[in-house]
Amino acid sequence: MATSEPLIELNSVGLALDGRAILKNVSLQVFPGEVLALVGPNGAGKSSLLSVMSGDVQATTGRALLQGRDVSKYRVDEAARQRSVLMQSNEVSFPFTVAEIVEMGRAPWARTTSLADDNKAIAEALEKADVEHLVERRFNQLSGGERARVSLARVLAQRTPVVLLDEPTAALDLKHQESVMKTVREIAGQGRAVVVVVHDLSVAAGYADRVAMVVEGKIAAVGSPREVITAKRVSEVYGVAVDIETVGSPARPVILPQR
């Protein structure tokens, strides 16, 4: 992992919606060349945290910085050239083709010198997401897993320094889960910052440089996978007794519920 100035910085961020505290005093940094995995139980605030990072939701208290600048101060087109976002919902109102959906990822670069990169960026994104064979299909006719991969291709085509992914592997089979996470690592290897919400703790541990565990709107722990994903912490947070095995080199935790 590279070390330099953070591309994302949250300073004492709080978020309240309808009078309910969703995020509470969250401080976090994400650096170039890093994959940061957000993990935690359902409803812990992971997606809300991602939305604050992206600027789609404004923090109630504290500050969220993108490339050292308050994320709320960016124009929409400026922000779209700095960060790309994959949210959980993959719904589209109109019957666009897959090719048209992925091309949308290049919209922020219209009228810039990067416009010349459009064809190459789109082709690479289609290949990485394994959706080249779907380009003429209508998005609303695809399976859930296919939609997820097409939506990821749109994000990849955007080619931003910061990539924010909310459960990109949720609807995917094992092959495509692994493919997506390998792509995530490749993105970080290019010096970009990736924040990914992952429910599978073993997947998070296998691919992330750091893991932040979110519990009831707070960061309960942040550090390397081995530091954060311990049997004691996982059992306490999730309410399920687990064993932890370590595999690979460097050693990474694999979480096994006790059955």
**What is the pTM for the complete model shown?**
0.93
pLDDT of residue 97: 95
Query: Residue 248 has what pLDDT?
Result: 78
Q: How confident is the model at residue 4 (pLDDT cuts 50, 70, 90)?
A: confident
Mean pLDDT of 92-104: 89
Is residue 134 predicted with pLDDT exceeding 90?
Answer: yes
Domain borders along the chain are 8-257
Question: Which DSSP category does 138 fall into?
Answer: B
Give the DSSP letter string of 60-111.
SEEEEEETTEEGGGS-HHHHHHHEEEE-S----SS--BHHHHHHGGGGGGTT
For residue 155, what are the CA distances in angstroms to 43, 170, 192, 207? Answer: 25, 16, 13, 19
pLDDT reading at 1 higher than 50: no
Task: Tell me what the mean pLDDT of segment 178-203 comes to.
Answer: 95
Residue pair 33/192 in contact (Cβ under 8 Å)? The answer is yes
The pLDDT value recorded for residue 173 is 92
Per-residue model confidence as pLDDT tens digits over 51-89 = 999 999 999 999 999 999 999 999 999 999 999 999 887
Q: Distance (Å, rounded) from C-alpha 7 to C-alpha 194?
A: 10
The CATH fold of domain 8-257 = Rossmann fold (3.40.50)
2 pLDDT more than 50: no
SS3 241: coil
Task: Report the range of poorest mean pLDDT among 24-28, 177-181, 250-254.
Answer: 250-254
Rounded mean pLDDT of the chain?
Answer: 93
Q: How far apart are CA 152 and CA 170, in angstroms?
A: 12
Residue 222: predicted pLDDT: 98
The average pLDDT across 95-121 equals 91
Q: pLDDT band for position 136 (50/70/90)?
A: very high
Confidence label for 40 from pLDDT (cuts 50, 70 and 90): very high
* Residue 236 in tokens: 């306490």
